[in-house]
Amino acid sequence: MWYLPRAEDTILTQSDQPRPLEARESGALIGQVRIPGDKSISHRALILGALAVGQTTISGLLEGEDVLNTAKAMRALGAKVERTGDFAWSMRGVGVAGFAEPQAPLDFGNSGTGCRLVMGAVAGCPITAVFDGDASLRSRPMRRVLDPLELMGARVRSNGDGGQLPLTLIGARDPLPIVYRTPVASAQIKSAVLLAGLAAPGTTTVIETEASRDHTELMLRHFGAEIVSAREGTHGRKIVLRGQPELHGIDIVVPADPSSAAFFIVAALIVEGSDLVLSDVMTNPLRTGLFTTLREMGAAIEQTEKRGDAGEPMARLRVRASKLRGVEVPAERAPSMIDEYLVLAVAAAFAEGTTIMRGLHELRVKESDRLEATADMLRVNGVKAEISGDDLIVEGRGHVPGGGLVATHMDHRIAMSALVMGLGADKAVRVDDTAFIATSFPDFIPMMRSLGAEFS
C-alpha cells in the first residue's frame, strides 16, 4: 500500500498566515442572532446522507472548514453533494457499504470529528482510503477509534506510534458485528463503531459506562435504521444497532450549535448590561451541561419556544448579564460539555469565588492540550488557575485584569474564549492567531461585532 510523508517533527503553534486580534472592554451586547448550524449534526447529516438511498436535503448546515472537508470526502467516496444556497445542501447517497475507492487522500484539515466518523463509515466498505489532515490533526491520537474498527475486520497502516495521520485504512470485505465497551465516554468512538456496524450482519452493540452525545443514534433512527438505546448502570448507555439497513434520504434542519452559542452566552453574562436572544439553539440534554452549570453559577438564561427536528430538540434562549459565583462541576457532567470548558473557565474567572471543574482528561487530547492551554490563557491575564490531576481550579475575583497575550496553539476554541474574556477584562486581551476560528465558526468575529463587541 502507499503512504504520505510523515508530518514535520516541529510542533506548529500558529497558522502559516497568523491573524492576531485584540479584544477590549465593550459596551453592552444587545440583539438577536441565529448561531450557525451545529457542527456535530452537520458532519453526521453529510455522512449519513452519503450512506442513504435517494436524496437528502440539509438546511442550516455549518459551512466552516471542518464540515466542508467532510463534504469533500463524501464526494470523493462517490456521493453526489451540491450546495444549493446559503447553508442549504442537497445530496444523493450511495447506500450502506456503497462507497467508491477515493482516487486521492481524504484531507480533513483540522477536524478530528469528521476524520474519525468517516473512518467508521469507510471501515465497513471493501475499499482502501488514505486519511490525512493538517499539522494539528496529524499529532492527535487515532488508536482508540481504530482498535474497534480492526476488531470488525478493517486493517490499518500508519507510520505513527498511536495510529496518527497520515494512515491507510483498508475496509472490511465482510465486516463483523461486535459488542464493544468504550474505554472512555466518547461520541466519536461510539459513532465510528455504529457507522461501521451499518455494513455488518446481525447486531452491533456499544456499551458506555458514561453516556456520550447521542446525535448519531438519533440521526440513524431518523434515516430509518433500527437502533435501540437503553440505560446501562448508573450513568451509562447500551446501544444496539441492527446491521445492513436501507437508509432513506430525508430532509434535515440543522439546529444552532450550542458549543458555538456558548461563546455568546458567556460574553453576555460577563459584559455589563448585555441582553441577547439566540434562536433555535440545540437543547439535547447530552449537550447542555454548560447551561446547567451557568445557571448554578447564577446566570440568567431563559428558555422558550421549544421545538425539534431530526430527533434533536431546540429552543430560543434569552441571556442577560449576571453576577456569577464559583461552583464545583462534577466529573460526570464532562461528556455533556467537553468542548465548553474553555469558555466556562472564562465565566469562572469573572465569578466570585472558586470554581472547580473535575474530570477533564479528555481536554488533553483535543486540537491542543486544552487543559494546559486554558490555564495558561487565564494566568497570562492575571487570573489564578491551577491544574490538579485532571481538575481545573479557577479563583474568581469578579473581574479579570487582562492585558495578556494568549497563545492559541492553532485551536479555534482557545482563540474564541480569549476574545470573549477580553470583552469584559480591565485591559485588552491579545490573541496571537485567530485564523483557525474559520474551521468551526467563520462568522464568529463579524457576528460578535454586530452585537457591539470591540475587536481590533
Q: What angle do CA 257, 236, 288 make, to 5 degrees?
A: 25
CA 289 to chain centre: 14
CB neighbour burial string for 115-130, b if at least 16 within 10 angstroms, e if fewer: bbbbbbbbbbbebbbb
Do you know the residue count of the chain? 456
Radius of gyration (C-alpha) of the chain in whole angstroms: 21
CA distances from 233 to 208, 214, 335, 362 (A): 9, 17, 16, 22
| Sign (positive or negative) of CA dihedral 345, 347, 350, 354 | negative
What percent of the residues of the chain are helix, what percent strand, and what percent coil, each to the nearest 5? 35, 25, 40
Asked if 141 and 14 touch (Cβ cutoff 8 Å), the reply is no
391 has which bridge partners? 388
CA dihedral 34→36→40→41, nearest 10 degrees, is 70
Interaxial angle between packed helices 112-123 and 143-151, expressed in degrees from 0 to 180 and rounded to the nearest 10: 10
CA 75 to chain centre: 22
* Calpha distance 62→81 (Å, rounded): 15
* Calpha distance 418→420 (Å, rounded): 5
CB-neighbour burial class of residue 406 (10 A; exposed 0-12, middle 13-18, buried 19+) = buried
Q: Which residues are catalytic?
A: 339
From 130, 122, 58, 131, select the one nearest 96 (Cα to Cα): 122
Q: Where are any strands of DSSP class E within 220-365?
A: 227-232, 236-242, 251-253, 275-282, 300-309, 312-320, 328-329, 352-357
Q: What angle do CA 433, 254, 362 make, to 5 degrees?
A: 50
Q: Give SS3 for 348.
A: helix
